[in-house]
Amino acid sequence: MAGKDRILVLGPTGAIGRHIVWASVKAGNPTYVLVRDTPQNVNKPRLVTAANPETRDELLHNFQNSGVFLIQGDMNDHQSLVNAIKQVDVVICSFGRLLIEDQVKIIAAIKEAGNVKRFFPSEFGLDVDRHDAVEPVREVFEEKAKIRRIIEAEGVPYTYLCCHAFTGYFLRNLAQIDTTVPPRDKIFIQGDGNVKGAYVTEADVGTYTVEAANDPNTLNKAVHIRLPANYLTLNEIVSLWEKKIGKSLEKIHVPEEKVLKDIQELSFPNNYLLALYHSQQIRGDAVYDIDPTRDVEASEAYPYVKYTTVDEYLNQFL
């Protein structure tokens, strides 16, 4: 039996990159990460930090102890990037929103290296070819879509990973602003609360990403993570939470006009988070049909993966 593909993760200490690294190690893929000598200083929103408390140095130490290969390099150093890519078969990028357009440098390095079987650009959210998001989220989605078009034009083999809503950003606070735990008294609900959303833990995103990386059937397709037990309306999620805490919450429904006004008036990160919530909870950007010629539904392709359900996830806050 042939050995598993070697996987390089770019952005390995980020909110999703760390989980892809661990999933790759668990799956038995030889795993590589690109590490800069001087990491960028990014002031992360409280919600992100709460969901990912492990520091960069702690992660790198644990990676190394687990057999992960640490490669010194930098996305802005073309030759170091090419040298790193030549050592692997699959490249998975998990850069944050500020570095999306810089992925053209990765594409150029992949083209020069000439050995990559698959590139996963940094998506890990809603399908950027199927959305009706507003600013400031729309600009990021359009940047991601632009990267897709460049990949396709350059003939780079790819897989796009559409995971929708991270539980760490959307569920741990039930889509409330300025809190990192679910509410116990009242909750603000965008719209009527009856629009389906798709939720998944960051760890499960890592698992499904590596499953897709090891699956030849996902070549040049988009993989969509809409798990049956986690494809829920906010009203359904609130009902689950109310049963757990044994009380009903006061529900304040916010009309779309007010949500849009708040997005315009708030500063980052709240305006960005509110726009993400709006995209899923009002515009229904997680609701669409699968096209088998270009899409793969993760739960159907990998039914053996035991994922964390919304119901299970909420238990940690009791």
Q: Please identify which residue in the block is written with the tokens 């890519």.
A: 85
Is 144 annotated in the active site?
A: yes
Percent helix, strand, coil in the chain, to 5, is 40, 15, 40
Q: Are 310 and 229 in contact (CB under 8 A)?
A: yes
Candidate list 4, 44, 105, 144, residue with the active-site label: 144
User: Rounded CA gap, 243 and 88, in Å?
Assistant: 48
Beta bridge partners of 166: 200
Instruction: Please state, in angstroms and rounded to a whole number, the distance separating the CA atoms of residues 102 and 161.
Output: 18
Rounded to whole angstroms, how far apart are CA atoms 276 and 175? Answer: 9
In whole angstroms, what separates CA 104 from the centre of its chain? 20
Q: How far is Cα 221 from Cα 228, in angstroms, rounded to an integer?
A: 21
Q: Known catalytic residues? A: 144
